[in-house]
Each structure stands twice: as C-alpha cells, then as structure tokens.
Structure 1
C-alpha cells in the first residue's frame, strides 16, 4: 500500500523507532524506602498526560467560548460538567474497548476491566460517553445538551491529537507495512517498515479537524445552529478514521472483519451517517438568537 504523496517527503528510508528520542514515561520517581516499606518506582506516562492535558485544555478553551453571546450554559455549569465529561471519556472509552475489541478476554476475567493502567480505550466508546454526559447534564441543569455538544465537539480534537501522539510515543497501534524501504520499524511489530499511522491520525483527527471547527466557531454563526458543529466533527472524524484505517494495522485479536472492513471502519460508518443527518437538520432548522 503506497503512502499518500503529502506524507512521503519526511520518510525516504526506514527509521528504527528505538533510535528516536521518545519514551513512554514522561518521568519516573525511583524506588524508595519509607515507614518500613519499599515504594515505587512510579512512572508518569505520556499517555496519561495526554488525557489530563486534553481535558484541561478543553476546559480552558470552553471557558472562553461560553463568553460569546448566546452560550448555552454558565461558568459554574461548565465547571460541574467537566467532571461528567471526564467520567464519560474514561468510562465510555473503556466500555467501548471491552465490547467492541476484546470482549472474550474480559468475559474470562471481568476484573481486568478495572485495570485502566494496562491500556485499552476506544474513541467511539468515549464519544458515546461524552454525548451521554452532555445530554444528561443538560437535562439535569436545564439547558440544551445538543448545544453543549457543539461546544465540546469544537475542542475535542485537542485530546484526539494528543492521544494519537502518545500512541506513537508508546510504539503502539502502528500502521501496516509500507511495502517499500521507508517507514518506521517498531520494536514489537517485526522487521518490516510500517506506516506511522498514529501520526496520520494525529494530523487529521487532531490538527485539521481542530482548525476547521475553530474557524467555524469563531468566524461564522455556526455555534448558533444546534448540532452543526457536532455534525461537522462527526463527519470529519469518521471520514478521517475510515481513511487512516487503510494504513493502520488491524487489531490482532480481530483482524479484517468478514465485511472486508476493520472494526474502526465499521464503527465509523454509523457515526458518519448520524452526523450527516445531524448536519442536515441543523442547516434546515432556524438558528437560535445570540
């Protein structure tokens, strides 16, 4: 499978991942003895920091976005919602991974579901978790959950981009073999050069989508059409994920499904359709007043 031309210039020959100045741990606290017990070592991983940074950055930007006329919620409501959103991301992401990607493993040992530090999160599950958090919080706090979803969708690419970069740093979720002598040789993926598909996803789902949604929010009245920004996000993410799945190695326990698609592509199709419908409805309905 050939690499799209706009990615080719930086990858003229194979790069050994182990030679890159990246490590999964941001820093490590060495083991120590205290109160008669041995503790540690303790490591803070970039993947954990990606989640934390994404949530903090989202809150920071949302506090400025809701200052614009016509915002659906107040600052105290937003501060309260962040807790709901965090639970939605983590709970939905973990549940989605269990149900969609590794159900047999967790049926055999359900306690493993709680071992979040071992990895295993699904974006599609996290997406549904955040959607549920938006509508539930809106229902309890008496404001439009759909309009909140528009605001949240605008900042979500930050966490997506950071998460994909962290996947690359971890040397996980690598791409398929490039079919040439260029690419990256990941330590646990055999000797063949592979697509750095994590970076493709970071660029599309993170960078490109963030630019599009930010421009729509700040420079157009899109925020006043409930569902429009969420629809753009859903279509944009779904298409990006569907395309990059052609370069990403399918999950080992699933492979290519009988439909000829990967699980990521299969889950993206209903997301694209639902988001497209939301877009149509948002464009047909009258906008709210600022």
Structure 2
C-alpha cells in the first residue's frame, strides 16, 4: 500500500532505543527521559519555592528540604500510577489473564492519565503529612512536570511507537515497526511540542507573570485544561491503539480520558477565583 507523497517522506532516524546493554541489564532512552524529567521537576520546584515574589507574601507550599523528600513520593506516584493506569485503562482483560506481565514496564509502557492520578495521590498523602492543601501541592507539580512529558514523547519517537495516522504531507515518516510501511504523522513529536513546550510556557507565564501560585489551584487548573485540550488535538493525528480502535467512530481512548481532565481544569480555575490571594 502506498500513499501520495511517498517519495517525500522523512527517513526514520536510526537511533537505538537501548543506550547501553550490559548482559540482561539495558539502559533505555525511555527510562532516561523519565529520570531526567523527574530530576528537572525537583530542581524547578526548588526554584519556585525559593522565589518569594512568585508567592506574593504567602508562605510557599513547601520548603526546599520538603521538595527533596517529596521526590521519592512523586517517583512512586508516576511509576505506579502510570503503569496501573495503562493496565486498567487500556488492557484490563489481558493483564487479568497475564498478571506477571504487569511488571514488564517496557511492554506497553505507562499511561499519562494513570500517572497523573498517581501524582495526585502522592500529593494528597504528602500534603497531609506536612500540612499543605492538595491544590497547592498540585500547583507546584503542574509548573514542573511538562518538560518531563515532552521528553517522554521524544522517547516514544525514538522507540518508534505510538505513531500517527497515515499522511501525504512531506514530513510523513515510515516507522520501522509499521506493518503497512506507509508515511505517518510523527504524532509523538507533535505531542512533545504541545506537552513539553506549549504546556510548560502556559503554566510558566501564569506563575511568573500573573501570580498563579498566589491563587491555589490556578496553575494546576491551567495545566489540566491545556494538557487535556492538547491531548485531544494530538489524538486527531495519532493512530489509536489497534486493540481499542475508535469509540463511536471517531473518539479515541486518549480523547475520552482527557475530557474529564479538561472539566477538572475548568473547575480548578473557577475555584481559584474564590481563594484568598
């Protein structure tokens, strides 16, 4: 099967998903992307809590030392929530029949929406331990995690997974594991720009120019709304999972899971208007 514009496609870059292989132990770009994203998030959160003008006279949500302690909680929330989210949202029947495959993190990967819920639980539990409200905890996370999301999408591209729908546009790419071998949208790169670039800038402008951290829930509301809309847009170019396909002829699972996230974002933004500055 061929599509118009086949001669104009961009060759898929020959990048090995495995950086180093030492016997059974492999260091993958996907894992490095998560580690770098989490380290950046921790560093950025420290910068935020150490900048008094961003809080308008209010006490920051956490101290620098508490950010260090929260790092472990956030890692557990992302990894456990992301993996369980993929298992429950995408292949519940398969993993019910093959429970040991849940441990194969490289097979299927993780779900953002599950990771998001995992981080919410981590924020709730750690926030209670230090006497900080959930929305103020989430605000710090919202400002710091988009870079990690963008890196994760770049790792998806290197892995040649989660590719886009067929296209005749000149930047279409033929992915090596695609049985049809047709040019497709590099939807992973679209998502990297939206999640790692647009989302980060949107929240940063809100926190640094418009004092969003002075209104609990505002930064996280912007994050949830912008991410949800960005994901829905990206899903218009992304090939749905073969084992799920479309719901109602046009909706994908990513779209369905993003709709309540948008609703939560709107609710947080409306709620933040009534919080004391």
Work out whether the TM-score is over 0.5: yes
Cα distance between partner residues in 2 of 1:181 and 1:141: 53
Cα distance between partner residues in 2 of 1:89 and 1:109: 22
**1:122 positional shift:** 0.2
Q: Is 2:146 aligned against 1:146?
A: no
8 Å CA contact 1:225–1:285 kept in 2: the answer is: yes
Distance change in 2, residues 1:159/1:24 (3 Å) = same
Cα distance between partner residues in 1 of 2:206 and 2:154: 25
Gaps of 5+ in 1: 1-10, 30-39
Q: Is 2:155 aligned against 1:166?
A: yes
Distance change in 2, residues 1:114/1:279 (3 Å) = same
The 5-angstrom pairing of residues 125-204 of structure 1 reads: 125-179=114-168, 182-189=171-178, 190-204=180-194
Q: Is 2:222 aligned against 1:222?
A: no
Deviations 1:239-285 (CA, angstroms, capped at 9, x unpaired): 00001101000001100013631000000001001110110110233
Q: Is 2:29 aligned against 1:46?
A: yes
Q: Is 2:54 aligned against 1:28?
A: no
Cα distance between partner residues in 2 of 1:271 and 1:216: 19
Q: Is 2:66 aligned against 1:77?
A: yes
**1:120 positional shift:** 2.0
8 Å CA contact 1:161–1:206 kept in 2: the answer is: yes
Distance change in 2, residues 1:259/1:128 (3 Å) = farther
Q: Is 2:239 aligned against 1:249?
A: yes
Deviations 1:93-125 (CA, angstroms, capped at 9, x unpaired): 011100110111101111111222334200000
Q: Is 2:269 aligned against 1:279?
A: yes
Q: Which moved more, 1:204-213 or 1:234-243?
A: 204-213
**1:179 positional shift:** 3.9
**1:181 positional shift:** 6.1
Q: Which residue of 1 aligns with 2:111?
A: 122
Q: Which residue of 1 aligns with 2:199?
A: 209
Q: Which moved more, 1:20-29 or 1:143-152?
A: 20-29
Q: Which residue of 1 aligns with 2:8?
A: 13
Q: 1:65 aligns with which of 48, 68, 92?
A: 48
Gaps of 5+ in 2: 1-5, 53-58
8 Å CA contact 2:153–2:192 kept in 1: the answer is: yes
Deviations 1:196-238 (CA, angstroms, capped at 9, x unpaired): 0000000011111111211221222111100000000000000
8 Å CA contact 2:86–2:108 kept in 1: the answer is: no
8 Å CA contact 2:150–2:195 kept in 1: the answer is: yes
Normalised TM-score (structure 1): 0.87
Q: 1:55 aligns with which of 38, 44, 47?
A: 38
**1:27 positional shift:** 2.7
Q: What is the alpha-carbon root mean square deviation over aligned residues?
A: 1.7
Q: Which residue of 2 aligns with 1:91?
A: 80
Normalised TM-score (structure 2): 0.91
Distance change in 2, residues 1:225/1:286 (3 Å) = same
Cα distance between partner residues in 2 of 1:85 and 1:24: 25
Cα distance between partner residues in 2 of 1:60 and 1:53: 10
- Where 2:10 maps in the other structure, the secondary structure is strand
8 Å CA contact 1:154–1:229 kept in 2: the answer is: yes
**1:63 positional shift:** 1.1
